[in-house]
Amino acid sequence: MIRFWTAAALALATFAAIGCSDNNSGMYAAVPGGKATSYTVSSGGRYTLYHATRLTDSGKPDPSATQQVASFDLRPGESLGFDWVTDKAHMYDPDAHLNLQAYAGSHRINLGGLSSTHERYYWAQ
């Protein structure tokens, strides 16, 4: 039964994170519900990870409820995005959850679990 719930949670997280890049909005990767979970940088530069705790009526992050988490300089060809990871020590606990991990090049940031449906993380330049 535990494996069923673990598989269901992984499937839900995967479906919530699938999509393509939305370069027109300035966001290169976003979760959950973003159009992309990863992006390969075509031109170098500084990319910043943001955390929004509220969305506007159109579903975009509300600037007044958004804060910068981290920034990294990337070279062309490097990747940035998000992965959902399990805590192996607690993967069989009935109330275990997936943790969100952001990456940019060789940098990794564990963001923990999401606490609200209005919460979003995204990379922008």
Mean pLDDT of the region 44-51: 94
pLDDT at 10 over 80: no
- pTM, two decimals, is 0.71
Distances, alpha carbon 35 to alpha carbons 12, 77, 89, in Å: 15, 20, 31
Peptide bond into 63 cis (omega under 30): no
Question: In this predicted structure, what is the pLDDT of residue 109?
Answer: 95
Query: Residue 16 has which token pair?
Result: 């919530």
Question: In this predicted structure, what is the pLDDT of residue 94?
Answer: 78
Interatomic CA distance for residues 12 and 31, integer angstroms: 13
Q: Which residues touch 123 (CB under 8 Å, ≥6 apart)?
A: 27, 28, 29, 30, 39, 47, 48, 49, 50, 80, 81, 102, 104
Residue 26, phi-psi category: left (phi > 0), alpha (psi -120 to 50), beta (remainder): left
**What pLDDT band is residue 11 in, cutting at 50, 70 and 90?**
very low
